[in-house]
Structure 1
Amino acid sequence: MGLKEEFQEHAEKARTLPSTTTNESLLIIYGLYKQATVGPININFPGVFQPTVVFERERSKWDAWKAVEGKSQEEAMSDYIAKIKQLLEEAAAAE
Structure 2
Amino acid sequence: MVCLYGWQEEFDEHAQKAMTLPENTSNENKLILYGLFKQATCGPVNTSRPGIFNMRDRAKWDAWKAVEAKSKEEAMNDYITKVKQLLEEAAPAS
Question: Residue deviations 1:37-66, cap 9 Å, x none?
Answer: 000000111034xxx3xx110110010000
Does residue 33 (structure 1) correspond to residue 37 (structure 2)? The answer is: yes
What is the SS of the residue equivalent to 2:91? helix
Aligned to 1:77: 76
- Runs of 4+ deviating beyond 3 Å: none
Q: What RMSD, in angstroms, separates the aligned Cα atoms of the two structures? A: 1.5
Q: CA deviation at 1:94?
A: 5.9
Aligned to 2:55: 56
Q: Which runs of 5+ in 2 are unaligned?
A: none
TM-score, length-normalised on structure 1?
A: 0.89
Change over 3 Å in CA distance of 1:71–1:94 after alignment to 2: same
Aligned to 2:17: 13
TM-score, length-normalised on structure 2?
A: 0.90
Q: Give identity over the alignment, percent.
A: 66
Q: Which runs of 5+ in 1 are unaligned?
A: none
